[in-house]
Amino acid sequence: MIVESNVPLQHHNTFGIVAKARTLVRVRSQEDVHAMLAHPEVAAEPKFVLGGGSNIVLTGDVKPVVLKVEVAGKRIVEDGAKAVVVEFGAGENWHEAVTWTIEQGLGGLENLALIPGTVGASPVQNIGAYGVELQDRFESLDAIDLQTGREFTLDAAQCAFGYRDSVFKHSPARDSDFGLAGRALILRVRMRLPKPWKPVLGYIDLQRKMTESGVKTPDARQIYDWVCAVRGAKLPDPRVIGNAGSFFKNPTVTPEQCQDIIAREPNIVHYPMPDGTMKLAAGWLIDACGWKGKSVGQAGVYEKQALVLVNRGGATGGEVVTLARAIQTSVYERFGIRLEPEPVVV
Ligand code: EPU
């Protein structure tokens, strides 16, 4: 186990915010967690689990011990008649894991290409894009309890997936004993890729790609390429412009609330959900309030997608939070809707 002090985190958060970890432990296996729990200074300290840092806003140096998850590994664990099950170490880069499945000739994760972050963070957020959510392909995961060192495996039901939500985002203290936030460190994640492979092409941007290219029966690699192209065209590459993807969740409202808003705002982008509620495009709401291209200090609203906040160079976490609050206020004042942030403010 390696324990480091005063470690710069600028390259460990996709916003590229300058901050330090007072103490950082690299976790490459469960043995590292056991060693950490036996460590005289580190064991009793509060902990903060860091994956690819694609879903956090750092507002200062991180005081809890940062556990940087670097568990590696990519393998096929089962090749059955109905599905292939693949397993990845939690520290693997998500996009590289998706690319690996495509190179193995395995379809199923192509709609989730180019999402920043690590495999271990993917179930926390229940990442989703272009009509597929992680929960649609999830098989199980192995995790370790940071208080007891006990290892355990969870299936999809136990992960309690919701829209950009899971058991890992809820704290037992706050949410009536439900939740593993701050308690579990994810070691490995398994995904079930069903056979035969079926493309998911309902999303408008993919429909457009089919029309433009004339390709009517794309394979998984073709969809992977399209998803990379679509994302590249409207989402900033965090290696070039710091960001954490969508900053807010798309809010849901009742059909009555939606009708009321449509009466005032006929162009509002909305989608009916299977449970009867209506989902509104948060990017549209923010755009309609005139935020595209605006800034607070060096934190800004991306010019091509108002749902994405960016670091224009040297932004502080405080600037990002101030900008986010100003956006929430103006969307609430105009539409009566409270936007909920996706990233965790640390
Ligand atoms: N829109 C605007 N102005 C904007 C941005 C969007 O009018 O500035 C409109 C678009 O024209 C479109 C609608 O809003 O009609 C939805 O926009 P988009 O298709 O870009 O998708 P989104 O709802 O903004 C969601 C996910 C993304 C995911 C895409 C594709 C959330 C919070 N975001 O974005 O996920 O990639 O759909 O499936 O659910 C992420 O979570 O970090 C993320 C990038």
Rounded mean pLDDT of the chain?
A: 95
Q: Whose CA is nearest to atom 40 of ligand 1?
A: 246
Indicate whether residue 130 lines ligand 1 (CB < 6 A).
Answer: yes
pTM: predicted TM-score of the whole model, two decimal places: 0.94
Nearest residue by C-alpha to atom 11 in ligand 1: 284
pLDDT at 177 over 70: no
78: CA distance to ligand 1 center in Å?
Answer: 35
Query: Each residue of 1-27: pLDDT tens digit?
Result: 889 999 999 999 999 999 999 999 999
* Shortest-distance atom of ligand 1 to CA 249: 32
Distance from the CA of 270 to the center of ligand 1, in angstroms?
Answer: 11
φ/ψ (deg, to 5) at 309: -95, 140
Query: Quick one: average pLDDT of 132-157?
Result: 96
> For residue range 27-49, what is the model confidence (pLDDT) as tens digits?
999 999 999 999 998 999 999 99
Per-residue pLDDT band at 173 (split at 50, 70, 90): low
**Ligand 1 center–CA 133 separation, angstroms:** 14
Structural domains present in the chain = 2-69 (3.30.43.10), 74-194 (3.30.465.10), 242-345 (3.90.78.10)
Tens-digit pLDDT profile for residues 191-223 = 999 999 999 999 999 999 999 999 999 999 999
Report the pLDDT averaged over residues 53-79: 97
pLDDT (tens digit, 9 = 90+) per residue, 227-245?
A: 999 999 999 999 999 999 9
Contact in structure between 120 and 91 (CB atoms under 8 Å) = yes
Q: Whose CA is nearest to atom 19 of ligand 1?
A: 205
Q: And the tokens for 24?
A: 């950082």
Q: Indicate if ligand 1 lies below 6 Å from the C-beta of 269.
A: yes
Q: Is the CB of 250 under 6 A from ligand 1?
A: yes
Query: What is the identity of the amino acid at 174?
Result: R
Mutate-to-test residue for ligand 1 from 56, 246, 279, highest number of ligand atoms within 8 A of CB: 246
Compute the distance between CA of residue 3 and CA of residue 22 in angstroms, rounded to an integer: 10
Distance CA 54, CA 344 (A): 10
- How far, in Å, are 60, 112, 125, 221, 312 from residue 65 at the CA level? 14, 31, 22, 40, 29
Q: Looking at residue 105, what is its pLDDT?
A: 97
Please say if the pLDDT value at position 179 is more than 90: no
Pocket lining: 306 vs ligand 1, CB cutoff 6 Å? yes
Distance CA 206, CA 90 (A): 29
Q: Are 157 and 178 in contact (CB under 8 A)?
A: no
Residue 305: which of 328, 324, 281 has the closest Cα? 281
Cα 335 to averaged position of ligand 1 atoms, centre (Å): 18
Output the CA 336–ligand 1 centroid distance in Å.
20
Give, rounded to a whole angstrom, the gap between the first and last alpha carbons of the chain: 25
Which of 267, 301, 307 gets mutated to test ligand 1 (max ligand atoms within 8 A of its CB)? 307
Closest ligand 1 atom to Cα of 244: 42
Residue 172 confidence (pLDDT): 72
Average pLDDT over residues 69-93: 97
- Give the residue whose CA is nearest to atom 32 of ligand 1: 249
- pLDDT tens profile 244-270: 999 999 999 999 999 999 999 999 999
Tokens 């936030």 sit on residue: 181
High-pLDDT (> 70) share of the chain, %: 98
10 token code pair: 């600028």
